[in-house]
Amino acid sequence: MRVPYMVLSPTAGTVNLDAVSGDGDQALAGQIIPDGQVAFQLTDANGVPVTATAVTFSQARGSVPLTISNASTTTDNYGFAYATVTIGSQTGSYAVNASGGGQSYQFSGSVSLPPTVSAGGVVNAANSTAPVAPGSYVSIYGSNLSYTTDENYSAVRLPLSMDQVTVSFDAAATGSLPAVSVPGHIVYVSPGQVNIQVPWELQGYSSAKMKVTLYEFGFGNVMQIPGLTKIVVNMGVGEAARDAKLIELGGGTTEIQELTAGRWLVENYQI
């Protein structure tokens, strides 16, 4: 049996430098750039990787302060070279010069402040008070929460992300409930306010940690959301208060249990 194969080896002459990651990122001050690293590949005129070639990385003139770490000194077996870039505290633009094989390239991108949730800035959207409940709508107040103002107009769907803004909740294991990490459903975003629906999956947890994230990777302060409460619906007198089957909430509840006269607790739900 014959197995066909082909061996390619780098040829002398022109070397190409191709940027792979870290260019055009929308980074946040004080954090690693979203791609994690700036990276490039060296190849010859035939596309064969140029290996074991000396490379350099440095902060470019005009860049905001940054730190370069874990930088390659030579290309690897596939012609790649990498460097981790961590942005300092200033906003503006970052720029990193890279060179190798007689070629050079400048990686660049923008730098903004990270999203910051104000102390006590997570409140019930209906009355601007705490605590909040799973399934309820809440307003998150702060700064740099979004780069734009937008609203969801769908009556049947709430997105998990809007204009690169996401909100997530993490709750520790408690009793028979496992640890969970779940996203909020977004209704409205703006630089100073984000409105979401708290995930139903937090039912039964007494507290959770919440963070606002921009562009998937950059988040600011993590807020502890204490006192998660069960949803209580106030009912008036009459047939509805006497017969739980006459009550339907949102997409339809599957069970409603009477607690005290005129107060009902949603035990199970459907979305």
58 band by pLDDT with thresholds 50, 70 and 90: very high
Quick one: fold of 15-112?
Answer: Immunoglobulin-like (2.60.40)
The pLDDT of residue 9? 66
Cis peptide before 131 (omega within 30 of 0): yes
Instruction: Identify which of 7-16, 194-203, 210-219, 251-260 has the greatest average pLDDT.
Output: 194-203
Alpha-carbon gap, residue 208 to 180, rounded angstroms = 9
| DSSP3 helix / strand / coil % (the chain, rounded to 5) | 5, 50, 50
* CA distances for 204 relative to 98, 122, 178, 267, angstroms: 52, 19, 11, 10
Helix (H) and strand (E) counts in the chain: 1, 21
Report the pLDDT value the prediction gives residue 37, as an integer from 0 to 100.
97
55-83 mean pLDDT: 98
Confidence grade of residue 8 (pLDDT, cut at 50, 70, 90): low
> Out of 88-97, 165-174, 216-225, which region has the weakest mean confidence (pLDDT)?
216-225
Tell me the domain boundaries of the chain.
15-112, 116-225, 232-268
Confidence of residue 10 (pLDDT cuts 50, 70, 90): low
Q: How far is CA 73 from the centre of its chain?
A: 32
pLDDT tier for residue 14 given thresholds of 50, 70 and 90: confident
**15-112 and 116-225 agree in CATH topology:** yes
- Which tokens sit at 207? 């507290």
Percent of the chain topping pLDDT 90: 68
- pLDDT of 26 > 70? The answer is yes
Answering whether pTM is above 0.75, one says no
Higher pLDDT, 26 or 267: 26
The predicted model gives 125-130 an average pLDDT of 86
**pLDDT at position 253 over 70:** no
Of the ranges 3-7, 105-109, 125-129, which one carries the lowest mean pLDDT score?
A: 3-7
Answer left, alpha or beta for residue 47, where phi above 0 means left and psi between -120 and 50 means alpha.
left
pLDDT value at 245 more than 70? no
CATH superfamily name and code, 116-225:
Immunoglobulins (2.60.40.10)
